[in-house]
Amino acid sequence: MKKKQKNKEKKNEKEQKKAVKKPHFFSIGFKLWLIFFIFIFTLFTFFYGITNEWFGKMPTFEELENPETNLASQIYSADGVLLGSYFIENRSNVHFSELSPYLINALMAIEDIRFVEHSGIDQRALFRVAYGIFTGNRKGGGSTLTQQLAKNLFPRGENLSKPKLVIRKLQEWVTATKLEYNYSKEEILAMYLNTVPYGSNAFGIKSATLTFFNKMPDELNIQEAALMAGVINAPTRFSPVRNPENALKRRNLVLAKMADYNFISQPMYDSIKHIPIDMSRYFVMDHNRGQATYFREFLRSELQQWASQHQKADGTTYNIYRDGLRIYTTINSKMQQYAEDAVRKHLANDIQPAFFKHWKGQANAPFVFPDSDPKQEIKKIMNQSIRRSDRYRTMKKEGYNAEEIEEAFNTPTRMHVFSWNGPLDTIMTPLDSIRYYKFFLQASLLSIETQTGYIRAYVGGNDYRFFKYDHVTQAHRQVGSTFKPFLYTLAMQEGEYSPCSKIPNIPYSVELYDGTFWEPKNSDKNKVGEEVTLKWALANSNNWISAYLIKRFSPQAVVQMARKMGVKSPIEPVPAISLGVPDLTLYEMVGAMNTYANQGVYVKPTFITKIEDKNGNIIERFIPERTEALDEVTAYKMLELMKGVVESGTGVRLRYKYQFTNPIAGKTGTTQNQSDGWFMGITPDLTTGVWVGAEERSVHFRSLSLGQGANTALPIWALYMRKVYDDPSLGISQGEFPKPLGDMSIEFDCDKYDRLQNKNRSNTQYFRDEF
């Protein structure tokens, strides 16, 4: 028994020893280590696969250097003011140096306080998120600013499955690490702020600060910076425009965080949190608003043509809506504002009220058809206007028939319509709105610098929101007597005449090709039958002297002269051009008139000085085109002739009413039935032209005193130039025109010229009598 028991004990001992001698890798500790190493290996392999694009494409270094964001092309004035942008997304990049320190502190306080410490991934934030998920008490997110930047630069897409979402999140981690490796913290902050949307059609911090505060990012104060940092999280929910209460709470939360992290003191926080949000300078930038709207639209078409002819380094053509070009224009923002103010002041306060009063109670207002049935003509005009409208084109495209379209145009609807006191919210039929707009006179102004041809101010109409047609470059209108200087230039150039040369003021007739005769009438009966100087004739817009000169020099010669001075529009070579029947643009007329002040050299009006790419590299510089059209003596003679318009002619109100005393050469123009009023004003530094008229030529004043260019267009020139002269920062001279270096033995004082002529005649008669 004892032996058996002893054997059994030995057997148990052997089994225990055998159990103790089992391999080490079956221990629990080893299993845990094994699991850990497998996890690390899998994780390493997974991230290796992500980096090497096993799970989808990853951004390359080149893509990190040049992320595909839609950058707005910006338009700058000559004095550095941002006039507007062309964009799909209103986004413009800034550098870190252009950011307010308050903004940087506010952003880190609310979004990523350990931003300067981590390398793209914040482990503490990740553990906090993981702990929150397990405990159900999650507070805050785990994404760093760098991860958010990676997400913004390379969007995830929509409706991703959970596995794909996890992979995408890990791809963002890898991208964030790459960003941290390749960029400084300052560059990452700037890139982040350039990519985020802020609502109100503002993408990126620069567009946002301009939209909400009309400030650059480095000009933000503490409360504005806190608001901008807070809006990022949810642009709609925290919009200071749509949800001001939410925005205020969010801003104050950011300020509280800034106080917690000692970016600001507690007393400062207690003070600032009570300041209300100021949205008084809120302005959503679009092509309908802001300065120089007509100019910007004109520029758009020119730039699109330019972009189609210029290629980037990759061989594709430029896109003004995506490539972040910087367009530096010749516009001076101050002069542009003075021009827009002048147009508004004269039309809103003087001419338009006078026009309404003039037509009040009149049948068929505001149309005049002296030689045809007014009702039929008005119906024709209204039908044409309907067909030109956006409403008609849209309905036609959508398949509506004529009866349905007519019904729509006669159905009252709520709409915004133009008024000089601001847009009116009203109810009227679309047809009535068309008739309503026919009552409004339009105006345009173009002002260019004499020697350079730089366009300094460009006003194409009353309000681009309501009137899209540009009367500077698109509208061809009859120019009236402003065309006469081309004819007089021929007389001065040939040397046969001087400004004081005299011609009998009597009717003249010109034989036409069919054997009939053309004989113009004069509206002014002053000095009929007397000899008058050419200076007097031009100053008083005398038609008989123009007929004499066109007979002397021929219509073809006048057309050729106009061509030399930059006029491109078709001109029929008939005697009537001496009275101004051609239809030309204001752009052409101002460019041509500037030739006189520029000593006979025509310089094509220029609107861009240079274009840069998004990195500030100059793509192209623009040099004005110059052509010698006249000799400098002829040009100076013409200035002396046109000075008579202001000294004693149709432009004399510049002296007695507007109190200008400096040298001004000018020319008024009034077309048939007062449909168009013009004034061309030339000074040594600026040539400025103004046109006033209605959309339809049959809409005009019924009297010459109200409708003449001296009453409609000249006052706008005067209001504009008075502001220009009163601004010393512009440096616009009020001195004399420079005299030519050539022979200037001509006498421009016609009274003195008469005395000399009489003396010469007396001496000649004495010589004959004696010898």
Contact 254, 109 (CB under 8 A): yes
Which among 191, 153, 167 has a CA at the least distance from the CA of 54?
167
Residue 704: predicted pLDDT:
92
Residue 165: predicted pLDDT:
54
Which among 458, 475, 544, 459 has a CA at the least distance from the CA of 693?
475
Q: With left for phi above 0 and alpha for psi between -120 and 50, is residue 375 left, alpha or beta?
A: alpha
Angle, nearest 10°, between helix axes 555-564 and 484-493?
A: 100
In Å, what is the CA distance from 470 to each residue of 110, 327, 443, 581? 48, 21, 10, 21
Contact 144, 125 (CB under 8 A): yes
Cα torsion through 597, 603, 606, 611, rounded to 10: -130
Residue 286: predicted pLDDT:
79
What angle (nearest 5°) sits at the alpha carbon of residue 93, between those of residues 92 and 99?
A: 115
> Which residue type, as a one-letter code, is found at position 573?
P
Residue 625 is classified by DSSP as -
Residue 208: predicted pLDDT:
92
Contact 82, 72 (CB under 8 A): no
Contact 546, 507 (CB under 8 A): no
What 3 state SS string does 473-484 have?
Answer: CCCCEECHHHHH
Contact 56, 171 (CB under 8 A): yes
Angle, nearest 10°, between helix axes 543-553 and 555-564?
A: 90
Residue 8: predicted pLDDT:
59
Q: How far apart are CA 77 and CA 83, in angstroms?
A: 6
In Å, what is the CA distance from 486 to each residue of 599, 608, 723? 15, 28, 30
In Å, what is the CA distance from 544 to each residue of 66, 78, 339, 527, 541? 69, 45, 35, 12, 9
Q: Count of residues for the chain?
A: 771
> CB neighbours of 593 closer than 8 A, spacing ≥ 6?
482, 485, 667, 680, 682, 687, 689
Q: How far apart are CA 41 and CA 189, in angstroms?
A: 34
Q: Where are the alpha helices (DSSP H) in 198-332?
A: 205-213, 222-231, 244-260, 266-272, 293-308
Strand (E) positions, 290-347?
Answer: 326-329
Other residues' Cβ atoms within 10 Å of the Cβ of residue 236: 12
Residue 768 is classified by DSSP as H
H/E element, 564: helix 555-564
Tokens of 510: 């010109």
Residue 162: predicted pLDDT:
58
**Which pLDDT tens digit goes with each residue over 367-409?**
998 888 999 999 999 999 999 999 999 999 999 999 999 999 9
What are the backbone dihedrals phi and psi of residue 222, each rounded to the nearest 5 degrees, phi first? -65, -50
Other residues' Cβ atoms within 10 Å of the Cβ of residue 478: 21
Cis peptide before 67 (omega within 30 of 0): no
Contact 364, 374 (CB under 8 A): yes
Tokens of 239: 């919009």
Residue 115: predicted pLDDT:
85
Q: How far apart are CA 217 and CA 390, in angstroms?
A: 39
The answer to whether the pTM exceeds 0.95 is no
Q: How far apart are CA 526 and CA 647, in angstroms?
A: 17
H/E element, 76: strand 73-76
Q: How far apart are CA 710 and CA 534, in angstroms?
A: 20
Residues of the chain with pLDDT under 50: 21, 25, 129, 765-767, 771
Q: How far apart are CA 424 and CA 500, in angstroms?
A: 55
Tokens of 312: 């980037």
Contact 513, 622 (CB under 8 A): no
Cα torsion through 304, 307, 308, 310, rounded to 10: 160
Contact 144, 122 (CB under 8 A): yes
Q: Where are the alpha helices (DSSP H) in 475-542?
A: 484-493, 534-539
Q: How far apart are CA 268 and CA 255, in angstroms?
A: 9
What is the SS3 assignment for 586?
A: helix
